[in-house]
Amino acid sequence: MANATDRLNRPLGVLRLSLTARCNLACPYCLPDGVEPPGLLTATQRLQVVAAAVALGAHSLRLTGGEPLLHSGLEELIAAVQPLRAQSKEGPGLRQIALTSNGTLLSAKRARALRAAGLDRITLSLDGTTGAAVAGMAGLADASAGERTLAAVLAAIEHARAAGFDPAVGALKLNAVVQRGRNHDQLLPLAALCRERGLELRLIEYMDVGNRNGWSRAAVLSAAEMVEQLGAIWPLEPLGRDNHGTASRWSYRDGRGSIAVVASVSQPFCGDCNRLRVTADGIAYTCLFASPDSGTDLRPWLKTDSDPIELEQALAGLWKHRNDRYSEERQQGARGDRNHAEMAYLGG
């Protein structure tokens, strides 16, 4: 089947597949339920979804949650999708398999297993450099719990590096959500930590995803402010934003690495967004800011007797009618209040 494009001529390029809605943290900007929705997809059904998306042009698979390391079949799924990398008549195939994780469960053994299964890239998350800051951003009881979590994530970085996820080629990065009034004082320490460890720091504006996080525009520390603060200490050179990318990148003039900033609030990138999201229970969403009732249930096309082409046709039809541009409309003042599907459910 030919590559799919939507009503704004945006191609399907990335499938973000959530493996679980559960998480072992309770970050205030996400606030997961801690329980699974009913009717989770089986391993076979997940593979069918990935194959259909690749047939329509998806070249990147991002495995998410909740916390995907809670999913016991993670390595098996990564190994099972490897044949989709092959060149085919329909398109170039799968080029990258990535994982987004909070890192607290990434042992040395698990990192090696993920690499052996065929994972290309890991992005870990850390929103502070002190026990108190980590506790506040991870929903933990106290600074002692924050210190333990911080230590676990720092260890996970080294486990991933040792397993072959090389930050020098972009195979290991660190995400940080920065929220004014909560952890904005961690911006410079996080950048210093990443400079020391040779990691690209991906700074994410506080977003109005879901309905639980009490989002306020006043709490958004904009990309421009973050770049200005960092550049005042370590001068930066702009590298731009890749086509269909989520982040604008900057390099340090002293050669000590780079940063990236995801500015979906202050500088929306809806115009070339190429991401399809599928939840752990098989609901497809075409926007991170989608309303809960706007998803398409893929399970009718995932029955044991279903023809794979029917799933491809369903996804192609969904993408063909896509016209989402929520962040641009929000910036233009064209969006009023509305319910959003929850971040942990959508996979971020």
pLDDT in tens, 5-57: 999 999 999 999 999 999 999 988 888 877 888 899 999 999 999 999 999 99
Question: 249 or 344, which is more confident?
Answer: 249
The residue type of 270 is C
**Which residue from 289, 319, 264 is spatially nearest to 9, judged by alpha carbons?**
319
pLDDT in tens, 96-144: 999 999 999 999 999 999 999 999 999 999 999 999 999 999 999 999 9
d(CA 345, CA 348): 8
Q: Once rounded to an integer, what is the mean pLDDT over residues 47-69?
A: 96
Give just the sign of the alpha carbon dihedral 7, 311, 73, 211. positive
**Per-residue tokens: 249:** 């990148």
Map out the domains of the chain with their CATH numbers.
Answer: 14-173+273-346 (3.20.20.70)
**Per-residue tokens: 138:** 């991870």
**Per-residue tokens: 241:** 């934003």
pLDDT band for 335, please (50, 70, 90 cuts).
low
Question: Going by C-beta distance under 8 Å and a sequence separation of 6 or more, which residues neighbour residue 106?
Answer: 69, 122, 124, 156, 159, 160
| Count of residues in the chain | 348
Give just the sign of the alpha carbon dihedral 92, 93, 96, 98. positive
What's the pLDDT score for residue 54? 96
What's the pLDDT score for residue 336? 52
The number of beta carbons lying within 10 Å of the beta carbon of residue 21 is 24
If DSSP codes are grouped into helix, strand and coil, which group holds residue 206? coil
Max mean pLDDT among 28-32, 194-198, 210-214, 301-305 falls in 194-198
**Which residue from 27, 103, 26 is spatially nearest to 70, judged by alpha carbons?**
103
d(CA 115, CA 42): 23
What's the pLDDT score for residue 229? 98
What's the pLDDT score for residue 156? 98
DSSP 2-50: PPPB-TT-PBP-EEEEE--S--S---TTT---SSPPSSPPPHHHHHHHH
> Does an H or E element contain 96, and which?
strand 96-101
Ramachandran angles phi, psi of 129, nearest 5°:
-120, 5
pLDDT band for 286, please (50, 70, 90 cuts).
very high
What's the pLDDT score for residue 227? 98
d(CA 21, CA 220): 25
What's the pLDDT score for residue 32? 80
pLDDT band for 90, please (50, 70, 90 cuts).
low
State the average pLDDT for the chain. Answer: 93
What's the pLDDT score for residue 340? 78
Q: Once rounded to an integer, what is the mean pLDDT over residues 69-89?
A: 90
What's the pLDDT score for residue 224? 97
| Maximum CA extent, the chain | 61
Q: Once rounded to an integer, what is the mean pLDDT over residues 165-177?
A: 98
